[in-house]
Amino acid sequence: MKLEVPGFVAGAVAAGIKKDGKKDLGMICSEVPACAAGVFTTNKIQAAPVLLGKERIKSGHCQAIVVNSGNANACTGKRGIEDAEAVSRAAATTLGIPEELVMVASTGVIGLHLDLNSIEAAMPGLAGHLNAAGLNDVAEAIMTTDTFPKTVSKEGHVVEKIFTIAAVAKGAGMIHPDMATMLCFVCTDIAAEPHFLRRVLNGAVQKSFNAITVDGDTSTNDTVLLLANGLSGLHLKEASIAAAFQSALDEVLFTLALQIVKDGEGATKQVSVCIEGASDEGDARRVAYTVANSPLVKTALFGEDANWGRIMAAIGRAGVPVNPETIDISFGNVYVVKDGQGCGKEAEGDAAAVLKTDHFTITVSLKMGSGTATVHTCDLSTDYVRINAAYRS
C-alpha cells in the first residue's frame, strides 16, 4: 500500500547536518490545520524541541512537522530553545502558516548547537520538494543508527467511506530502548476532537512502543505525533468509527514497534517475552521487562543457548512474588522448565532449534494468578557493543 494520506505532503533534503551528506531534514505538512496529539519522553532531561513541542501541542492543532537528524538539540540550554523556535519560524515563513502550528523534532548527538544557517538555507528547497509520497523520504531522513527506514500505512472502511493512516518511525537502540531516540509521525485523514485524539493515541502507544520500552525509561528526544486533518469526512465522535480507527492505529504503531525491535542495534533475533499467570498485569510487566532487559539472557539468545537458568534468575530478581516450584518456561512450543526444574538435555536440544530461528517467543508461566504481559525485545550481540562504542567517532 502507498505511504500517502489525502491532504498531506512531505519531503526531505540533505541540509548538511549529518556529516555523510545523507538526507537529514524532513517536513510533513497538511493542506489544512490538523487536529493533533503527542506523546513525549518522560526523561527529566528533555531536548529543546520536546520542551517546545509539549507547549505547542496543548492547543490540539498542528499543520506541519519539521524534523532533523544528526543533532538532538538536547542539553543546549536557552539557546537550544531559541534554535528550535527559529527552525519552526523558518518553516512557518516558508510555508506561509502560523508558527504556532509547526512542531519540531530532533534526533542525533546530544550537546551540540544546531547549525541554524544550514537549516534555514535548506528550508525553501525542502518546501519545494514536498509531495504526496514524500513520507518515504522523511522515514529515510530521520534514520541515525537505523539500518532501514520504518514505514507503514493502512486503510479503514466505515459506512462506505475510507480513512487512511500512514506513519514513519525511527529507533534502533533496543538494548535499553530508553536511551535511544524513538520518533514516530502519524498522518491520518480522520476527523477528531483533540482530547479524544489524545486518548486514542495514548491507548495505541501503550500497546506498541510501551511494550518494547521499560516504563518511564525514555530518551531526551522521544516523540510520537499524530496529525488528523479530517479530510476523510469520518469523525471519531461516532463509536463505530472510533473503534475502527483505534484498531487501525493500534496495528500501525505495533507494526512500527516491531520494526524498531527488528532493527535493534546489532540484533540478530527478535524475541517476544510472554509472561502468564502473574498475580496481576503489573507484576507480569515487571517480570517481562526484567527478563527482556537482562544482558545475560540477551547474550545467551545471541549465543543460541537455551540457558533457562538465567531466565529463572531474572524472574527471581524482578521484585514480584513468585513460587520457584511452579514456574514453567518454554522456547516456542518446547518446554525447558516445568515446575521450576529443567526438562533435561533432550528438551534443551529441541529448544536450541527454536533459538536458531530469527523470531520466537519465550513463554514463562508463573501459576500465581491471571496477570499476563508481553514485551518484545532482541538479543545482545558483539555488534551492539561495536556500534555503541564507536557511535560518535
Catalytic residues: 181
C-alpha cell at 229: 486533518
299 touches a second copy by CB under 8 A: yes
- Cα four-point dihedral sign 198, 203, 205, 206: positive
Q: Going residue by residue from 256 to 295, which x/- string records binding to a second copy, judged by CB under 8 A?
A: --------------------------------------xx
Please report how close the Cβ of residue 309 comes to a second copy at its closest, in angstroms: 3
**Cα gap 63→141, rounded to integer Å:** 20
Question: CB-wise, 136 or 218, nearer to a second copy?
Answer: 218
Task: Assess contact for 213 and 373: CB atoms under 8 A.
Answer: no
Among 5, 34, 67, 74, binds a second copy (CB under 8 A): 74
369 touches a second copy by CB under 8 A: no
DSSP per-residue string spanning 290-328? HHHH-HHHHHHHHTT---HHHHHHHHHTSSS---GGG-E
Among 20, 160, 325, 346, binds a second copy (CB under 8 A): 325
Scanning 14-22, 147-155, 253-261, 312-320 for contacts with a second copy by CB under 8 A, the matching segment is 312-320
Beta bridge partners of 28: 10, 65
Please report how close the Cβ of residue 365 comes to a second copy at its closest, in angstroms: 15
310 touches a second copy by CB under 8 A: yes
Number of residues that bind a second copy (CB under 8 A): 66
Among 185, 209, 308, 331, binds a second copy (CB under 8 A): 308
Among 166, 182, 300, 368, binds a second copy (CB under 8 A): 300
175 touches a second copy by CB under 8 A: yes
Longest dimension (CA), the chain: 69
78 Cβ partners below 8 Å, 6+ apart?
none
- Residue among 267, 279, 309 nearest 291 (CA): 309
Instruction: Provide the edge-to-edge strand list for the sheet that holds 371-378.
Output: 341-342, 334-338, 328-331, 359-365, 270-278, 371-378
C-alpha cell at 76: 543546549
Please report how close the Cβ of residue 319 comes to a second copy at its closest, in angstroms: 7
- Cα four-point dihedral sign 299, 301, 302, 306: positive
Beta bridge partners of 150: 169
353 touches a second copy by CB under 8 A: no
75 touches a second copy by CB under 8 A: yes
Please report how close the Cβ of residue 284 comes to a second copy at its closest, in angstroms: 15
Count each helix (H run) and each strand (E run) in the chain, helices first.
11, 14
172 touches a second copy by CB under 8 A: no
* Helix%, strand%, coil% for the chain, nearest 5: 40, 30, 35
76 touches a second copy by CB under 8 A: yes
Please report how close the Cβ of residue 218 comes to a second copy at its closest, in angstroms: 7
Give residues 207-226 in contact with a second copy (rule: CB under 8 A): 216-220
255 touches a second copy by CB under 8 A: no
Residue 153 phi, psi (nearest 5)? -145, 160
Question: Between 77-95 and 48-56, two packed helices, what is the crossing angle to 10 degrees?
Answer: 50
Please report how close the Cβ of residue 72 comes to a second copy at its closest, in angstroms: 7
Please report how close the Cβ of residue 158 comes to a second copy at its closest, in angstroms: 40
Q: By the criterion CB under 8 A, which residues form the site for a second copy?
A: 42-46, 72, 74-77, 109-112, 173, 175-176, 178-180, 216-220, 294-296, 299-300, 302-303, 305, 307-310, 312-319, 321-322, 324-325, 337, 339-342, 380-382, 384-386, 388-393
